[in-house]
């Protein structure tokens, strides 16, 4: 196993932090109580039996299951939350501890420290990351996944998800190679109306009616904007009046802005994420790029993720199923929180 220096340094920090973390978290029972208390902030829980639906007050001291006040069937207070189905709570709280200390570890390393399987760690982390994938959009810079192909490892064997999106990966690489020389700053100047339409375009064909609905502009303005965008080489018109972003544009999207720290280049942010992945995970599947960028966010953003807030978030966030983890695929553009001082 090879580790870069950054990863090695984190591993040493983690080992040093372990006695303190063990002392803080205590036994599995202590951890369960911490999670139950976090879940109890909801106060009420509805009976999920369709013929009952009674609004139950969560009993104090908080227990994992209790009986419905009306129908007397068992109710689990983890139901529909990120903690549902958890066998043990301590590994989850340990992951949160390391994230709050800004210590990024690989699933293998976490598995060793938490004494569970790498698969278990992967599932826990992906559940958290999928639940937070919507949150990151509000604060992050959007970048094209093609800029991060250096972080992507081809899978050599079949995964639980059966097949990685291989054809899509090949397609992305083909496009990168075709556009390598001219993918930055090749976007022409756009008017405000054109910009609004441009935003709605992707590599998935959209009809005039769909664009009419999402852009909310008049039919004549939309028609004009589509025509000028086509002339500027930004879109491709397909049969049946359907539109996609032009191939060359997929790679030259540099419209990304960060609301806190001003505009940053997509390339710079992508470079940062690629280094992050290479340093700590060597390489990851293309489908997981967004999820690892969320894990990076958990670890480095102490303003958003102040102590305790990740636990709170998990307690409040919805249940993510195993099927959902397998099905998750990073879109063609995804969100990354840039380093504070990257220029």
How, if at all, do strands 235-238 and 257-258 pair? unpaired
Nearer to Zn ion, 46 or 212 (CB): 46
Task: Show the beta-strand stretches assigned E in 68-125.
Answer: 74-76
Question: CA angle, corner 56, sides to 54 and 59, nearest 5?
Answer: 160
Q: Which of residues 60-89 bind Zn ion (CB under 5 A)?
A: 68, 70-71
Site membership for Zn ion, residue 47 (CB under 5 A): yes
Site membership for Zn ion, residue 113 (CB under 5 A): no
Which among 40-48, 168-176, 209-217, 241-249 is the span making contact with Zn ion, rule CB under 5 A? 40-48
Query: Which of 54, 80, 237, 304 touches Zn ion (CB under 5 A)?
Result: 54
Q: Which of residues 126-165 bind Zn ion (CB under 5 A)?
A: none
* Inter-helix orientation angle 208-215/192-200, to 10°: 120
Query: Which of 21, 25, 34, 52 touches Zn ion (CB under 5 A)?
Result: 52
Task: Show the beta-strand stretches assigned E in the chain.
Answer: 44-46, 55-57, 65-67, 74-76, 141-144, 206-207, 235-238, 242-245, 257-258, 262-263, 333-336
Nearer to Zn ion, 70 or 318 (CB): 70
Nearer to Zn ion, 57 or 134 (CB): 57
Site membership for Zn ion, residue 58 (CB under 5 A): no
Nearer to Zn ion, 74 or 209 (CB): 74
Write down the least CB distance from residue 53 to Zn ion, Å: 7
Number of H helices, E strands in the chain: 14, 11
Kindly list the distances between the CA atom of residue 244 and the CA atoms of 199, 234, 248, in Å, as whole numbers in the listed order. 11, 9, 11
Binding site for Zn ion (CB under 5 A): 47, 49, 52, 54, 68, 70-71
């Amino acid at each position: 196993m090879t580790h870069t220096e950054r990863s090695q340094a984190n591993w040493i920090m983690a080992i040093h932090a372990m006695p303190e973390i063990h002392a803080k978290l205590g036994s599995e029972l202590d951890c369960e109580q911490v999670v139950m208390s976090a879940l109890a902030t909801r106060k009420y829980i509805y009976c999920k039996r369709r013929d009952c639906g009674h609004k139950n007050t969560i009993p104090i001291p908080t227990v994992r299951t209790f009986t419905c006040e009306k129908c007397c069937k068992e109710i689990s207070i983890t139901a529909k939350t990120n903690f549902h189905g958890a066998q043990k709570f301590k590994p989850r709280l340990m992951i949160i501890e390391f994230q709050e200390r800004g210590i990024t570890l690989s699933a293998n390393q976490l598995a060793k420290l938490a004494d569970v399987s790498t698969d278990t760690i992967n599932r826990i982390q992906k559940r958290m990351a999928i639940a937070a994938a919507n949150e990151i959009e509000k604060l992050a810079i959007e970048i094209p996944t093609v800029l991060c192909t250096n972080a992507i490892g081809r899978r050599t064997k079949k995964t639980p998800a059966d097949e990685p999106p291989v054809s899509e990966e090949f397609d992305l690489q083909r496009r990168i190679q075709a556009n390598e020389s001219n993918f930055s700053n090749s976007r022409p100047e756009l008017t405000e109306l054109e910009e609004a339409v441009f935003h709605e375009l992707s590599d998935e064909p959209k009809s005039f009616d769909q664009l009419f609905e999402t852009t909310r502009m008049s039919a004549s303005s939309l028609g004009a904007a589509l025509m000028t965008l086509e002339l500027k080489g930004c879109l491709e018109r397909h049969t049946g009046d359907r539109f996609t972003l032009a191939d060359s544009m997929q790679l030259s999207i540099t419209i990304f802005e960060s609301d806190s720290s001003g505009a940053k280049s997509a390339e710079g942010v992508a470079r940062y994420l690629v280094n992050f992945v290479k340093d700590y995970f060597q390489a990851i599947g293309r489908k997981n790029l967004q999820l690892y960028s969320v894990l990076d966010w958990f670890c480095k953003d102490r303003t958003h993720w102040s102590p305790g807030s990740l636990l709170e978030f998990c307690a409040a966030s919805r249940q993510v199923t195993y099927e959902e983890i397998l099905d998750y695929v990073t879109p063609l553009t995804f969100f990354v929180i840039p380093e504070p001082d990257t220029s």
